[in-house]
Amino acid sequence: MEIERKWMVKGWPEEQAPAIALPLLVTHNMRQGYISVRPTVRIREEKPQGQDAAYILCFKSAGLLAREEIELSVAREDFEKLEAFIGLPLIPKERRTYQLPDGLHLEVSLVDRGAATEFMYAEVEYRTVEQAKAWDPASCGLAAYLSDEVTGQPGQSMGAYWLQTRGPMPGSTGEM
């Protein structure tokens, strides 16, 4: 089960909230694409800084705050076949993961760097729905940085962004 909240942000936290010193845990360079957005079937290449890439096939159920998520490792060759099957440019992302004082992680992603559609968002994943609903960004000094919450708003998913910028795969309806 994936339980997370999402915010649109401007810049990395160390640039926007320098008084809040969040330890940077890891930086990933990623590329991801969608076979389907309803239900979500996604491929992703994840390369943590200084490590080899991992290739993941992901399935997500419907839902906004909480949804089922199944991630399967796939071989690079299978990933490349799926990428060719999609036939559209994958979305590049840089994701930085920060340690929050309460033990949670803040994941901040820069999407499509350098493109006219470039944007940034942040997510925090929780153990329970109750924890997600109760968590306040002000508890970590991030109220101003995490002020534009989009959790639960239709059209704010990466799947929706995929359709807006890449269009549906040939032969699909592209419905959201």
Q: Which domains does the chain have, with CATH numbers?
A: 2-165 (2.40.320.10)
The model's pLDDT over 96-122, given as tens digits with 9 standing for 90+, comes to 999 999 999 999 999 999 999 999 999
Share of the chain above pLDDT 70, in %: 95
Q: What are the helix (H) ranges across 37-152?
A: 76-86, 129-134
Kindly tell me if the per-residue pLDDT of 20 is higher than 80.
yes
Given a cut of 80, whether residue 18 has pLDDT beyond it is no
Phi, psi of 26 (to 5 degrees): -165, 150
pLDDT confidence of residue 52: 97
CA torsion sign for 147, 102, 3, 48 is positive
Predicted confidence (pLDDT) at residue 136 exceeds the cutoff of 50: yes
Q: What is the pLDDT of residue 107?
A: 98
Q: Say how far apart CA 90 and CA 87 lie, in whole Å.
A: 9
Instruction: Give me 107's structure tokens.
Output: 């994941």
Per DSSP bridges, beta strands 105-111 and 119-125 are: antiparallel
Give the pLDDT confidence score for residue 170 in this predicted structure: 56
Residue whose entry in the numeric block shows the structure tokens 């389907």: 36
Over range 51-69, report the average pLDDT. Answer: 94
pLDDT band at 174 (very low <50, low <70, confident <90, very high): very low
Mean pLDDT along residues 135-148: 95
Give the model's pLDDT for residue 172: 55
pLDDT of residue 176: 39
For residue 92, the model assigns a pLDDT of 98
Let me know the angle formed at the C-alpha of 98 by 130 and 133, rounded to the nearest 5 degrees: 15
Look at residues 135, 3, 104, 133 and name the one whose alpha carbon lies nearest to residue 63.
Answer: 3
Band the pLDDT of 61: cuts 50, 70, 90: very high
pLDDT given for residue 167 in this prediction: 77
What length is written for the chain? 176
Inter-residue long-range contacts of 106-112, CB under 8 Å, 24+ positions, other chains counted: 106/13, 106/22, 106/140, 106/142, 108/9, 108/12, 108/13, 111/158, 111/161, 112/165
